[in-house]
Every structure is written in C-alpha cells, then in structure tokens.
C-alpha cells in the first residue's frame, strides 16, 4: 500500500508529494522531488528556523550523505567542510573530497567553526562527552551544534549498548548496526539515548542553550519514528555588528526567495500607484 501526503519540502522547497510504500516512514517516506527522508527534512526545517543565516557561516558536517540537506549545505554555505571517519587516513587530511576527522578528537583550531552538524551519528560514537567537548572547543562563542539522533520513545535514561576500543566493538546484548555511507558493514550502535540527552549535553557544555524539537508535520513530510532534532547554542555569543546584521538579513532574503521579496515590493508599489498592473 502506498502512503502519500501533499506538502512543501523544506529541502528542495518544491510543492511535492511525500510517498512511502511501507508504514515505516522513518527511512522510506521520500520526497518525490529530491528523495529526502523525514529526519533530513526535520533537520532542514530547524536549520532554517533557528539558524537562518547559516549560509554565511563556517559549517562542518560530520558523515554527510551525498544527497538531501547535506548536498544543499555543501552547495550553499559560504564555507562547508564535510568529514568522515577514515580509519586509515591521518586526521586532518583530505580524502575523496572529505576531511578525515574523528568527532572525539577534531583537528580544527579553537574557535574556528560556526556550526557543527550531523545526522544520526551520535548513536555510533564511543564517547559522546568527548564529542561535545571537542565541538565546543572548536566552535566560536555563540556557535551552534545541530543534529539528529534516535531518542527511544518513553526511555528516560540513556543506556550504553556497546563500547569501542583497540580490540574492536563489545556489545552488551544483541548486536545492532545501522547503515554507514562509507562502510558497507554498517556502524555499531553504542547508545540508546533517552529523554535525558538534553541534560547530558548541558552537563558536557555548561551554560549552553539546548533545544530538543519534535516535529509532527505532514505538510513538510516529517512523520514516523525518531523525529527529534537538537539545536545547541554555546554560551558567549555577542550581538553582531551592524554590517554583519545587514549581511545576515541579505542572506536570509536570498534563502527565502529573492523573487518573493521582489514580488512583495512590486505589490507595494502597485498599491502606491507607481507601477501599472500588468495587462
Ligand atoms: Zn524535496
């Protein structure tokens, strides 16, 4: 049975139909225009809503896919750095267009990044506390971390499912793997996160603002399990300068459709009688 919903995709921004051939929407409710899936659209919606000036920022994405919001950020951000964990490539080196990075031990300079982002990476790391310490170290004050990771419904307390060390992976219970864009074997699941993740993040980055957003919106094709998006802002951001604010405003206008803006301007002029109505 095909499940369909009409709406507007926050990634390709086309009027579209979201379609799934199965009730498991999480991985299979595709946008018929850009083939994105719900968590990518939830991420795109939150990026646009909470960090509208992202295009003018230095953006690092950990483990990007070659489509959807990753492709759009790569195309539109002023400075986009995509990275993967390549076990055999020295950290900091480029490989096949991506930088070799380990989120637990980044090679970026202090205060050099505006946004760190990742989709469904955090449930595969061994030390999320180190990941957040490293993202915090490398972010400019007032920088952002935006990401998705599955939050298990009804689970209050985060539970470790596996450890990774020099001897490999040790599971506590049934082994669980998820798809990995650069490894056909997949990635081991190390954590089942509960609703305490927001508090954990706050303990790793004291003073941060942590937002956990759960959308349930068929108009943007965000339906199904595990829809949470986290937007974390580190402390210490200052009011940007006037020039920076103006450039951010321009950036927003570009992103929200310059044509729409110009149309509105023309409408205003028509109302004032400066421009004749088209015949
Ligand atoms: Zn789309």
Please give the CATH number for the structural domain made up of 37-211+221-238: 3.40.50.150
Residue reference for tokens 């399990």? 225
CB atoms within 10 A of CB 73: 21
Dist. CA 119–CA 99, nearest whole Å: 17
> Measured in angstroms, how far is the CA atom of residue 194 from the centroid of ligand 1?
30
* Alpha carbon distances (Å) from 255 to 12, 218, 250, 252, 264: 12, 22, 9, 5, 16
Distance (angstroms) between ligand 1 centre and the Cα of 53 equals 21
**pLDDT confidence of 79, banded at 50, 70, 90?**
very high
Q: What are the residue ranges spanned by the domains of the chain?
A: 37-211+221-238
CA 220 to centroid of ligand 1, rounded, Å: 9
Tokens of 118: 């990742």
Structure tokens at 53: 């000036």
Average pLDDT over residues 200-210: 96
pLDDT of residue 274: 56
pTM of the model: 0.84
In the reported structure, the alpha carbon of residue 8 is separated from the centroid of ligand 1 by a whole-number distance in angstroms of 8
Spacing, Cα 36 to ligand 1 middle (Å): 6
pLDDT tens digits, 133-175 = 999 999 999 999 999 999 999 999 999 999 999 889 999 999 9
User: Taking Cα atoms as reference points, which of 134, 140, 146 lies closest to residue 205?
Assistant: 134
pLDDT band at 220 (very low <50, low <70, confident <90, very high): very high
88-122 pLDDT per residue, tens: 999 999 999 999 999 999 999 999 999 999 999 99
Q: What confidence tier does 260 reach under pLDDT thresholds 50, 70, 90?
A: low
Residue 251: HSE in the Cβ half-sphere, 13 Å Cα cutoff: 17
Q: What is the CA radius of gyration of the chain?
A: 20
What's residue 279's pLDDT?
A: 44
Burial 15-51 (b: 16+ CB within 10 A, else e): ebebebeeeebbbebbbeebebbbbbbbbbbbbbebb
Nearest by Cα to 199 from 208, 186, 188: 208
Residue 239 Cα to ligand 1 midpoint, Å, equals 34
Q: Which two tokens stand for residue 115?
A: 């946004």
pLDDT tens digit sequence for 39-50: 999 999 999 999
Could you tell me the distance, in angstroms and rounded to a whole number, from the CA of residue 47 to the centre of ligand 1? 15
Q: pLDDT at position 238, please?
A: 64
Q: Which three-class secondary structure string do you get for the chain?
A: CCEEEEEECCCCCCEEEEEECCCCHHHHCEECCCCCCHHHHHHHHHHHHHCCCHHHCEEEEECCCCCHHHHHHHHHCCEEEEEECCCCCCCCCEECCEEECCCCCCCCCCCCEEEEEEECCHHHCCCHHHHHHHHHHHEEEEEEEEEECCECCCCCCCEECEEEECCEEEECCCCCEEEECCEEEEEECCEEECCCHHHHHHHHCCCCEEEEEECCEHHHCECCCCCEEEEEECCCCCCCCHHHHHHHHHHHHHHHHHHHHHHHHHHHHHHCCCCCCCC
pLDDT digits (tens, 9 = 90+) for 227-254: 999 999 999 876 566 666 777 777 777 7
Q: What percent of the chain has pLDDT over 90?
A: 74
What is the chain's length? 279
- Ligand 1 mean position, distance from CA 145 (Å): 23
Question: Which tops the pLDDT comparison, 275 or 272?
Answer: 272
Query: How many angstroms does the Cα of residue 11 sit away from the middle of ligand 1?
Result: 5
pLDDT-based confidence at 8, cuts 50/70/90?
very high
């Amino acid at each position: 049975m095909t499940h369909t919903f009409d709406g507007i995709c926050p990634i390709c921004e086309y009027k579209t139909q979201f379609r799934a051939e199965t009730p498991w929407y999480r991985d299979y409710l595709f946008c018929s225009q850009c083939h994105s899936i719900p968590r990518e659209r939830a991420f795109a919606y939150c990026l646009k809503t909470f960090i509208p000036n992202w295009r003018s920022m230095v953006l690092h994405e950990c483990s990007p896919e070659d489509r959807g919001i990753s492709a759009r950020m790569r195309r539109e951000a002023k400075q986009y750095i995509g990275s993967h964990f390549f076990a055999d490539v020295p950290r900091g080196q480029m490989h096949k267009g991506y930088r070799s990075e380990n989120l637990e031990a980044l090679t970026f300079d202090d205060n050099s990044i505006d946004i760190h982002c990742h989709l469904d990476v955090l449930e595969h790391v061994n030390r999320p506390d180190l990941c957040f310490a490293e993202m915090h170290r490398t972010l400019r004050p007032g920088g952002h971390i935006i990401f998705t990771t599955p939050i298990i419904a009804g689970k209050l307390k985060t539970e470790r499912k596996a450890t990774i060390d020099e001897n490999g992976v040790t599971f506590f219970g049934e082994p669980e793997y998820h798809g990995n864009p650069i490894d056909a074997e997949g990635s081991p699941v190390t954590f089942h996160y509960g609703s305490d993740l927001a508090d954990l993040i706050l303990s790793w980055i004291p003073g941060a603002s942590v937002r956990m957003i759960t959308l349930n919106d068929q108009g943007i094709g965000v339906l199904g399990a595990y829809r949470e998006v986290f937007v974390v802002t580190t402390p210490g951001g200052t009011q940007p300068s006037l020039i920076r604010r103006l450039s951010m405003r321009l950036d927003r206008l570009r992103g929200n459709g310059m044509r729409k803006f110009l149309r509105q301007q023309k409408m205003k002029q028509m109302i004032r009688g400066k421009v004749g109505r088209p015949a």
